[in-house]
């Protein structure tokens, strides 16, 4: 049995149920009546971590949760039944409970769609207040993304201390709205600056690069069509030079790319093609250079791993935040940009950038751009202010 969510619950819609997972076994102990606020267990004083939708937000949630749990805190995850939230945390027993709500974004909606989404957020926020009451919630930590909205607004309504982590160099719409009302605001781009909460495993697998033996293409767990297309153009040239390829292509493109690489006669030890790996740091460790989108989570993980990168910012990201995420590295000559135009990335331009990168110098300097205490210092601030 897995944690249930509002959307698929056949009982009265005024109930949320979740399952506590211990040693892989589910116990139906955490049913909450959202009309009365009645609780049927003795847990108290929890911290809610909310948000997600994409891997970048969820990686921050995971890193902060690991730090808080290591200090004896009981944590609850509140996310969305859509996006990647359930894939990441449905079976993660580090959280004492998980709630996956039918939340949806507002920014890309218009007219009645936007009105419905706003009403849905308000409705879910009121229901989250009952979770707060039933669990004696003492703080809410938002890591951003549309699935953070219900619990974040519930924190404001119930006067529960709200802490916000902004992962990007451009503040998201929700965080911009809630920042003046928050007890604490954490960012790696805005003062006071906190190191990005990257998991320790990315630091532990870091190494100094000096010679181009392996290139990793990172399109994220959902894949990036432009990077997939670029890889197919570059890989024949790279493999002829003895360079091995690691390629994260996304689930939807996995089978088609296997066929394309087979047509090119590339496989075996030359190529490792995959869609998602929870231990992506091990693949980064084997690479000497990355070609990647510039989402904040991936960017800081690559930095922590001391892996030189050429960034291909997603051209449709809100407010061009991927460009601004990576700009501070590019401005220091610690990374390069290769922009996508009309859905394509220029293969010749990318190849020139790869050939010209001073891997040893860049790798040695990247390690100094981020400390491994980001999650610890953020947790310090949260716990001393609640």
> What residue numbers does the annotated binding site for UDP-N-acetyl-alpha-D-glucosamine cover?
54-56, 168, 221, 322
Rounded to whole angstroms, how far apart are CA atoms 221 and 84?
A: 9
> How do beta strands 271-274 and 25-27 pair?
unpaired
Convert 178-205 to b/e letters by CB count within 10 Å (16 or more is b): beeebbbbbbbbeeeebbbbbbbbbbeb
* Contacts of residue 163, Cβ cutoff 8 Å, sequence gap at least 6: 139, 140, 141, 142, 182, 183, 184, 185, 186, 378, 381, 382, 385
CA dist 382 and 47 (Å) reads: 10
Binding site, by residue number, is: 54-56, 168, 221, 322
Residue 360 has φ and ψ, to the nearest 5°, of -65, -45
Q: Residue 58 CA to chain centroid, in angstroms?
A: 4
Cβ neighbours around 328 below 10 Å, total: 15
CA angle at 85 for the pair 174 and 382, rounded to the nearest 5°: 55
- 259, burial (CB in 10 Å: exposed 0-12, middle 13-18, buried 19+): exposed
Q: Rounded to 5 degrees, what angle do the CA atoms 122, 89, 299 make?
A: 95
């Amino acid at each position: 049995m897995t944690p249930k969510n509002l959307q698929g619950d056949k009982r009265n819609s005024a109930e949320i149920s979740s399952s506590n997972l211990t040693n892989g076994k589910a116990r139906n102990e955490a049913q909450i009546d959202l009309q009365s606020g009645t609780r049927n267990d003795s847990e108290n004083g929890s911290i809610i971590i909310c948000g997600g939708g994409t891997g970048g937000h969820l990686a921050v949630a995971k890193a902060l949760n690991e730090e808080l749990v290591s200090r004896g805190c009981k944590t609850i995850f509140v996310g969305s039944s859509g996006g990647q939230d359930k894939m990441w945390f449905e079976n993660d027993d580090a959280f004492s409970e998980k709630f996956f709500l039918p939340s949806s974004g507002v920014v890309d909606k218009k007219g009645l769609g936007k009105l419905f989404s706003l009403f849905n957020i308000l409705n879910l926020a009121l229901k989250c207040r009952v979770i707060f009451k039933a669990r004696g919630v003492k703080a809410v930590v938002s890591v951003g993304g549309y699935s953070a909205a219900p619990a974040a607004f519930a924190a404001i309504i119930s006067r529960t201390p709200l802490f916000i982590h902004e992962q990007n160099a451009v503040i998201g719409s929700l965080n911009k709205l809630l920042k003046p009302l928050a007890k604490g605001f954490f960012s790696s781009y805005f003062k006071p600056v906190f190191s990005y909460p990257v998991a320790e495993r990315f630091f532990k697998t870091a190494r100094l690069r000096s010679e181009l033996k392996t290139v990793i293409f990172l399109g994220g767990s959902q894949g990036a069509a432009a990077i997939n297309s670029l890889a197919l153009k570059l890989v024949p040239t790279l493999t002829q030079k003895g360079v091995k390829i690691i390629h994260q292509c996304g689930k939807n493109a996995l089978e088609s790319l296997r066929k394309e690489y087979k047509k090119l006669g590339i496989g075996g030890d030359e190529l490792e093609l995959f869609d998602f790996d929870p231990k992506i740091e091990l693949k980064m460790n084997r690479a000497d250079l990355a070609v990647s989108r510039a989402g904040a989570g991936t960017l800081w993980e690559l930095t922590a791993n001391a892996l030189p990168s050429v960034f291909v910012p997603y051209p449709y990201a809100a407010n061009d935040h991927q460009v601004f995420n990576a700009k501070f590295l590019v401005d220091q000559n610690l990374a390069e940009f290769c922009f996508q135009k009309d859905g394509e990335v220029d293969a010749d331009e990318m190849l020139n950038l790869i050939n010209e990168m001073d891997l040893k110098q860049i790798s040695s300097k990247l390690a100094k751009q981020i400390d491994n205490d980001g999650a610890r210092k953020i947790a310090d601030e949260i716990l001393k202010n609640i």
